[in-house]
């Protein structure tokens, strides 16, 4: 899910790439670039704050490798709660926090992020959280806000375990979450063990993930906190048949299935809608860039994750896995 949301962020940064009518250089200006997802389930919250500019005559590739050109030195980054309480985030090096920056056009070290531990602020689902960035020099603060999504509660009976995944049967997957969650990513994670047929001691744990939907939207007219997805059993076996390589030299053992649902707020819906605006064969190729930051460009939103683990298969579903037309050559 993290990769999906980060991919969306990269997408909105490049939405205007199709246009050939733009000014590469101009007078120097300070452009904040902000990225942050907040979850009440995290043990710490991180916000990325950078800046983007290109001075007249400058070389973008060279500037991107100069950390002083990417980061602010004297700013404060704060979370503001609805009651007005302010909490200042500390600047840390993401490389030392377990979040190294991938190699690419930008300098990878240092990799500055702004952090606050969850137990220092104790965020709650449903509250409105404001991000405020003060840059000094009499500049207006950069702000953004999001409504925090509460816990996702997964139904223990929909689907029930052991799972009944007959080809014609639908897997009713139900969860409950506050109305602030507007869009969902649903994954079915199939876990198995694999060993060489002639050497059981080579047994290793493996898994494949079926991304059933990364854009399931809540019915905007519904006032119910319940949401559901209904993939069909046959589609699951078809996925397995394509995701796991046939190999007559291995044996495989089913080792449980997990269901993971990630919900996010209206900001993601708006981002996707903007990405699709004016697209297609009749489009003008000029797409507006989405940002919910008061100045500059950026994205600030909330998300929540719910998960059920170690679901088993009933007898008929195990038989379909071992002998069905889509998976019988996988040696389960």
Residue 63 pLDDT? 52
Mean pLDDT of 276-285: 60
Annotated domain spans of the chain: 2-148+293-301, 153-263+306-330
| Percent of the chain whose predicted confidence (pLDDT) is above 90 | 67
- Do residues 115 and 45 make contact, with C-beta atoms less than 8 angstroms apart? yes
Strand partners, 211: 187
Measured CA distances, 126 to 179, 183, 259, 267, 289 (Å): 9, 16, 24, 15, 28
Dihedral sign, Cα of residue 329, residue 330, residue 331, residue 332:
negative
Rounded distance between C-alpha atoms, residue 323 and residue 318, angstroms:
9
Angle between helices 233-243 and 315-323 (to 10 degrees): 40
Task: Convert the pLDDT of each residue in 78-137 to its tens digit.
Answer: 999 999 999 999 999 999 999 887 765 555 678 899 999 999 999 999 999 999 999 988
Quote the tokens at residue 218.
Answer: 């809540």
Task: Convert the pLDDT of each residue in 236-277 to its tens digit.
Answer: 999 999 999 999 999 999 999 999 999 999 999 998 888 777
Residue 58 pLDDT? 53
Closest CA to 316 of 157, 165, 159, 168: 165
Write out the CATH class of domain 2-148+293-301. Answer: mainly beta
- Which DSSP string corresponds to 99-137? -PPPSSSS--SS-EEEEEEHHHH---TT-EEEEEEE--T
Within its chain, how far is the Cα of 294 from the centroid? 23
Instruction: Judge whether 2-148+293-301 and 153-263+306-330 match in fold.
Output: yes
Quote the tokens at residue 330.
Answer: 């996988």
**What CATH number has the domain spanning 153-263+306-330?**
2.60.40
229 preceded by cis ω (within 30°)? no
Closest CA to 91 of 144, 46, 143: 46
């Amino acid at each position: 899910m993290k990769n999906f949301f980060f991919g969306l962020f990269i997408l909105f940064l490049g939405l205007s790439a199709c246009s050939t009518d733009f000014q590469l250089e101009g007078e120097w200006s300070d452009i904040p670039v902000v990225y942050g997802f907040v979850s009440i389930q995290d043990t710490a919250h991180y916000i990325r704050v950078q800046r983007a500019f290109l001075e007249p005559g400058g070389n973008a590739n060279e500037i991107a490798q100069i950390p002083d050109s990417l980061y602010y030195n004297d700013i404060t980054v704060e979370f503001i709660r609805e009651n007005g309480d302010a909490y200042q985030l500390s600047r840390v090096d993401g490389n030392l926090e377990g979040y190294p920056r991938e190699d690419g056009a930008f300098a990878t070290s240092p990799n500055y992020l702004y952090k606050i531990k969850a137990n220092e602020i104790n965020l709650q689902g449903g509250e409105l959280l404001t991000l405020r960035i003060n840059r000094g020099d009499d500049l207006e603060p950069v702000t953004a806000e999001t409504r925090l999504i509460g816990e996702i509660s997964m139904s223990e009976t929909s689907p029930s375990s052991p799972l009944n995944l007959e080809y014609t049967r639908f897997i009713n997957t139900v969860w409950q979450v506050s109305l602030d969650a507007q869009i969902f990513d649903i994954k079915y994670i199939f876990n198995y063990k694999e060993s060489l047929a002639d050497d059981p001691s080579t047994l290793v744990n493996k898994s494949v993930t079926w991304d059933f939907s990364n854009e399931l939207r809540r019915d905007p007219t519904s006032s119910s906190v319940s949401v559901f997805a209904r993939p069909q059993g046959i589609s699951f076996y078809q996925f397995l048949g394509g995701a796991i390589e046939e190999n007559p030299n291995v044996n495989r053992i089913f080792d449980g299935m997990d269901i993971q649902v990630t919900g996010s707020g209206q900001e993601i819906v708006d981002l996707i809608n903007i990405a699709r605006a004016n697209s297609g064969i009749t489009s003008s190729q000029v797409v507006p860039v989405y940002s919910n930051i008061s100045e500059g460009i950026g994205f600030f939103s909330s998300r929540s994750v719910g998960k059920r683990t170690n679901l088993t298969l009933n007898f008929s579903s195990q038989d379909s896995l071992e002998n069905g037309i889509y998976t019988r050559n996988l040696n389960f």
